[in-house]
Amino acid sequence: MRLKLNPKLNLIWPLCIRVGTVVGQSVSASTNASSESPQASSAPSAPPISTIADPASFVLPFIGTTNGGHVFPGATLPHGMIKAGMDTDSPGNHAGYDGDPQFNVTGFSQLHDSGTGGSVPLSNFKIWAFAQCSSFEKCPTSLASRKLLRKVLPNGSPDDFASPGYFSTNLTNGIRVELTATRRTALHRYIFPAGTAHPRLMVDLTNDGQRSSTEPAMTLDPETGKVEGGASFAASFGPGRYKAFTCVTFKGEGYDLGKPTEYGIWQGNFPVQGSTSILQVYYGFVSEMGALFTFPPAPRNARTSILVRVGVSFISSQQACANADEEIPDFGFEKVRTEAQEQWNDVLGRIQVDTHGVDKETVQLFYSSLYRTHISPADYTGENPKWNSTEPYYDSLYCNWDTYRTLYPLMSLHDPVTFSRIVRGMVDIQKHEGWLPECRGATAQHFIQGGSNADPILGEFFVKFHEHAAALGVSTDDLYNALLADAENEPPNWNLQGRQANAWKQFNYIPQDMFAPGGANTKQASRTLEHAFNDFAIAQVAKVLGKTEDAQKYYKRAGNFANIWNPNITVPGAPDVLGMVQPRFANGTFNFTDPRHCSIHDPEMATCFLNAARRDGFYESSPIVYSQYVPHDTAKLMELQGGLEKFVSRLDFIFGQGYFDSTNEPSQQIPFMYHYANRPGLSTQRSRQTIAQFFNASTNGLPGNDDSGAMGSYAAFYLAGLYPLPATRQFLLSSPYFRQISFFNPVFNTTTVIRSKNFNGNPSTGTGGRLFVQSVTVNGQPYKSNCYLDWDVFTSGSVIELTLTDNINVTCGNGANALPPSLSTGGYD
Ligand SMILES: *[C@@H]1O[C@H](CO)[C@@H](O)[C@H](O)[C@H]1NC(C)=O
Ligand SMILES: *[C@@H]1O[C@H](CO)[C@@H](O)[C@H](O)[C@H]1NC(C)=O
Ligand SMILES: *[C@@H]1O[C@H](CO)[C@@H](O)[C@H](O)[C@H]1NC(C)=O
Ligand SMILES: *[C@@H]1O[C@H](CO)[C@@H](O)[C@H](O)[C@H]1NC(C)=O
Ligand SMILES: *[C@@H]1O[C@H](CO)[C@@H](O)[C@H](O)[C@H]1NC(C)=O
Ligand SMILES: *[C@@H]1O[C@H](CO)[C@@H](O)[C@H](O)[C@H]1NC(C)=O
Ligand SMILES: *[C@@H]1O[C@H](CO)[C@@H](O)[C@H](O)[C@H]1NC(C)=O
Ligand SMILES: *[C@@H]1O[C@H](CO)[C@@H](O)[C@H](O)[C@H]1NC(C)=O
Ligand SMILES: *[C@@H]1O[C@H](CO)[C@@H](O)[C@H](O)[C@H]1NC(C)=O
Ligand SMILES: *[C@@H]1O[C@H](CO)[C@@H](O)[C@H](O)[C@H]1NC(C)=O
């Protein structure tokens, strides 16, 4: 049954946080809805399932907080702007935190990104507490002087705790810190050691993680301790800057805090008592400054506990104050924490798994991965300083290149309303800036990574939700025009938005030797592949709209990947692996890049990161990996590679020789590509080996940066036994790690269940066992393929039943439509 959305609801969505309950039935896990027998039955039956009441309790926020995962483990709402967390002096503190307790704590700041590279983003407005300064003036306020270690537990891990919407730690100075959050306001609690005579709290206005601040402005109110201020800061992955503002107020817990007994502005290590404005003490450039207060301790030797409410805004400090007053008027820490957890349970609980016969760690891995899918992008609605608009505004698109493959398709399955709001925000950016965002942080444009990869995100939304677009507030015309702008108009600086569109249209590839103005002439081969897929996404939208000519035009351009295929290139030592994508000159001849370039076997050990010194055509992955990167036309790729057997042996070569790169997104589909050779058992095995080898529930359980949830959503799909083809109506199918998994979709008000007959657990190595999909039924009827599912099964709410076998030689089936679609073999319906 389809739900007709009341268009009036759109008007309140920007203000309404719990969108999931506005539309459709809430299958919020916390409501303990009807609970089903864990036994899989063979007859299809009514789907509603809610077996896990509190999925947030399975989330381990510390996964990926050591060894370069850069995951943010602090307090945030789903897609909240506030991400309140601990900052450390770790060199890997892109999200502030590091799970290794050898690193000192430098403060508790309010914004952050999760899993990103670049410079440290958004560690703004740190709060810090002192229990033992000998006097106000002697407080070591500078970051280097104040920092100290966390307590360490007997097992060697830091004494930190985190759950969705909450974070706490015990510092070695005896102060306990707790954090929780609403969308635009953080709430901190500082509990001082017993007997603290002079509890002191400071606000650090300038240390953003990069020491980039300029134009600091701040005042404090000596009567109340209220601090208002802001500064300008550097973006982290682009040339831009942004302004951020804060409004900090204090409240005693269990007692009336009264007036601060001492107050003042500090610069570096020098607090100046009695000063109330930075202007009074600020004579030249000082990188560190803020406010410091001494408060009366709690009476009768009770432990002093002080709440610090930190509103943030990208518009003004007045707005930061208004945000704080509106969202946390009463400083109710437990209430805010509970509401945050409920919001998390609402979104996480829409995907339910049967835990029977499954390790707890697998369930934790699943919900933690799903959790990280919902940290970014961040909902900055009402906080866009660049233009006024009634549309939602989402930021921390960091970057669409990372997230388009798996994050948005996962949102299609269970969080389409948030997805629609993000799409509206992107379309609104295009209307005001001329091109869709590719990478964006802290309201500034960041460097593109190759494609104009909002295109497949908009395509993903429109192909799947076009019938609901208007009800969800998405203008079809605006969306389509935004796609055409990316496809056709060359921007002034294609390092920051859009594409090198003129070269693309003229040559049907991006030539290596064309030094067009407006961008760095790099990654020409990988950009060619990206634009081919981007145009495929546009063609898919045109097709839905019945714009036949446009669809033909963009499908044709989607075939441009073949223009950079050089059939004569081999890998040293593997003469059978013949044919690679390569950089090509404007005159049509090919240049040569070693296929091992930027792999673990690269003789030159290059990385192909954005700032790599050598510029030879590829971004963040080897030519070998990019020679698999044509998600929309694998059949054509198979042909270019010499047919089915060669295709399979090349995949085996990629895994056998370590060319599969778990740390970067262009490899994400490779384990599933055996599907196209009618060998889905091999996909099942490779994808499960990928999880076994590279993903686990430890703090180091990620193979690299989480990339704003790109890796989290990827792992969640693999555990669900699915892999998405963005901007299509198909999902590749394997066996889920759970006897049963269900997806509730609030726009359709339907639940789709995938059940496995013969399920007998998940071998820890990923190999062997009864894992292979032998046959598939949908609502009791045999399905056309064992290798993919059409979107219809999810819109209507279906019971999908898989019969599993231990025979790896399963096939996609015998019917005409058994193999997953490809552009050159009939395309996508
Ligand atoms: C959603 O579906 C359930 C049955 O599955 C029904 O009880 C409920 O009324 C529906 N909600 C809406 C808003 O249509
Ligand atoms: C759900 O059930 C659990 C276990 O029976 C119970 O502890 C919890 O309070 C229930 N939650 C709700 C919201 O009813
Ligand atoms: C952490 O701080 C302590 C003292 O505050 C210092 O001894 C130690 O070297 C610091 N650790 C790091 C990694 O900077
Ligand atoms: C910190 O210490 C308190 C006792 O004061 C304890 O309850 C808590 O579990 C400790 N750990 C964290 C992370 O809060
Ligand atoms: C948005 O509107 C407000 C109120 O009219 C105005 O003060 C502000 O300058 C506008 N912002 C922009 C970026 O146009
Ligand atoms: C590949 O080799 C064949 C045979 O030597 C040659 O005809 C063809 O031009 C080569 N193609 C490219 C792109 O170098
Ligand atoms: C094609 O262009 C490249 C690079 O500009 C040049 O080195 C090469 O000689 C040209 N080849 C032909 C056949 O013009
Ligand atoms: C051809 O490739 C080599 C090796 O990557 C590179 O150094 C050279 O600059 C490229 N030639 C042109 C004209 O881009
Ligand atoms: C967990 O995953 C990380 C990252 O892939 C890996 O380095 C580590 O060895 C794994 N740990 C275990 C116990 O498997
Ligand atoms: C699967 O096929 C391979 C090669 O055809 C064969 O060696 C193997 O025995 C088969 N496995 C099973 C379980 O039938």
Per DSSP, the three-state class of 660 is coil
Ligand 8: residues with CB < 6 A are 512-513, 591, 593, 616
Please check whether residues 321 and 371 belong to one and the same domain: no
Residue 35 forms part of a structural domain: no
Residue 403 forms part of a structural domain: yes
**Which tokens in the block code for residue 188?**
């901190």
Q: How far is the CA of 232 from the centre of ligand 5 (A)?
A: 19
Pairing status of strand 574-581 against strand 722-724: unpaired
Q: What is the pLDDT of residue 515?
A: 84
What sign for the dihedral angle of Cα 818, 820, 825, 829? positive
Domains identified in the chain, total number: 2
Residue 51 forms part of a structural domain: no
- What domain range includes position 678? 360-825
Residue bearing the CA closest to ligand 8, atom 7 = 616
Residue 146 identity (one-letter amino acid): R
The C-alpha angle with vertex 758 and arms to 754 and 761, in degrees rounded to 5, equals 85
Residue 66 forms part of a structural domain: no
- Share the mean pLDDT of the chain: 92
Q: Are 189 and 306 in contact (CB under 8 A)?
A: yes
Pocket test for ligand 2, best of 26, 31, 32 (most atoms within 8 A of CB): 32
Q: Is 318 in the pocket of ligand 5 (CB under 6 A)?
A: no
Q: Going edge to edge, which strands form the sheet with 200-204?
A: 85-88, 105-109, 126-130, 200-204, 289-294, 262-267, 270-273
Please check whether residues 365 and 511 belong to one and the same domain: yes
d(CA 399, CA 419): 16
Distance separating the N- and C-terminal Cα atoms of the chain: 22
Q: Is 155 in the pocket of ligand 6 (CB under 6 A)?
A: no
Please check whether residues 674 and 531 belong to one and the same domain: yes
Residue 301 forms part of a structural domain: yes
- Pick the atom of ligand 8 nearest to 593's CA: 5
Please check whether residues 727 and 690 belong to one and the same domain: yes
Give the pLDDT confidence of 555-575 residue by residue, as tens digits.
999 999 999 999 999 999 999
Q: Is 502 in the pocket of ligand 1 (CB under 6 A)?
A: no
**Which tokens in the block code for residue 814?**
């015998």
Q: Is 388 in the pocket of ligand 5 (CB under 6 A)?
A: yes
Give the pLDDT confidence of 638-690 residue by residue, as tens digits.
999 999 999 999 999 999 999 999 999 999 999 999 999 999 999 999 999 99
**What is the domain-level CATH number for residue 227?**
2.70.98.10
In the chain, the percentage of residues whose pLDDT exceeds 70 is 93
Please check whether residues 337 and 375 belong to one and the same domain: no
Q: What confidence category does residue 518 fall into, taking pLDDT thresholds of 50, 70 and 90?
A: confident
Give the pLDDT confidence of 580-598 residue by residue, as tens digits.
999 999 999 999 999 999 9
Phi, psi of 180 (to 5 degrees): -145, 175
The H or E element containing residue 745 is: strand 740-745
**What is the domain-level CATH number for residue 635?**
1.20.1610.10
The two counts, helices (H) then strands (E), for the chain are 21, 30
Please report, for residues 409, 527, 550, 561, the alpha-carbon distance to residue 537 in angstroms, rounded to integers and kept in the order given.
13, 15, 12, 14
Contacts of 645 (CB under 8 A, 6+ apart): none
Q: Which residues of 235-381 form beta strands (DSSP E)?
A: 241-252, 262-267, 270-273, 289-294, 305-313, 351-353, 378-379
Please check whether residues 95 and 223 belong to one and the same domain: yes
Torsion of CA 488, 491, 495, 498, to 10 degrees: -40
Residue 73 forms part of a structural domain: no
Q: What confidence category does residue 183 fall into, taking pLDDT thresholds of 50, 70 and 90?
A: very high
Please check whether residues 405 and 443 belong to one and the same domain: yes
Half-sphere exposure of 699 (CA within 13 A, CB side): 17
Contacts of 154 (CB under 8 A, 6+ apart): none
Give the pLDDT confidence of 354-412 residue by residue, as tens digits.
999 999 999 999 999 999 999 999 999 999 999 999 999 999 999 999 999 999 999 99
Q: What is the pLDDT of residue 615?
A: 73
Average pLDDT estimate for 105-114: 98
Please check whether residues 385 and 310 belong to one and the same domain: no
d(CA 496, CA 706): 22
Residue 60 forms part of a structural domain: no
d(CA 185, CA 82): 6
Domain boundary among 282, 314, 343: 343
Please report, for residues 182, 308, 310, 378, the alpha-carbon distance to residue 328 in angstroms, rounded to integers and kept in the order given.
8, 11, 10, 19
Is the pLDDT assigned to residue 106 strictly greater than 50?
A: yes
The C-alpha angle with vertex 247 and arms to 95 and 136, in degrees rounded to 5, equals 90
CB atoms within 10 A of CB 268: 15
Pocket test for ligand 7, best of 584, 589, 593, 616 (most atoms within 8 A of CB): 589
Q: Which ligand is nearest to the CA of 50?
A: 2
In the chain, the percentage of residues whose pLDDT exceeds 90 is 89
Residue 699 forms part of a structural domain: yes
Domain boundary among 317, 343, 369: 343
DSSP conformational letter for 45:
-
Please check whether residues 535 and 656 belong to one and the same domain: yes
d(CA 501, CA 509): 10
d(CA 730, CA 704): 28
Least confident of 3-12, 99-108, 132-141, 726-735: 3-12
Residue 805's DSSP bridge partners are 772
Is the pLDDT assigned to residue 296 strictly greater than 80?
A: yes
DSSP conformational letter for 567:
E
Please check whether residues 328 and 442 belong to one and the same domain: no
Q: How far is the CA of 346 from the centre of ligand 2 (A)?
A: 14
Please check whether residues 331 and 368 belong to one and the same domain: no
Please check whether residues 329 and 373 belong to one and the same domain: no
Is the pLDDT assigned to residue 47 strictly greater than 50?
A: no
Q: What confidence category does residue 614 fall into, taking pLDDT thresholds of 50, 70 and 90?
A: low
- Pick the atom of ligand 4 nearest to 178's CA: 14
Is the pLDDT assigned to residue 280 strictly greater than 80?
A: no
Average pLDDT estimate for 731-747: 98
Q: Scanning the structure block, which residue is given the tokens 């929309």?
A: 632
Give the pLDDT confidence of 69-90 residue by residue, as tens digits.
999 999 999 999 999 999 999 9
Give the pLDDT confidence of 532-561 residue by residue, as tens digits.
999 999 999 999 999 999 999 999 999 999
Q: Which ligand is nearest to the CA of 69?
A: 9
Is the pLDDT assigned to residue 478 strictly greater than 90?
A: yes
Q: Scanning the structure block, which residue is given the tokens 């760095």?
A: 520
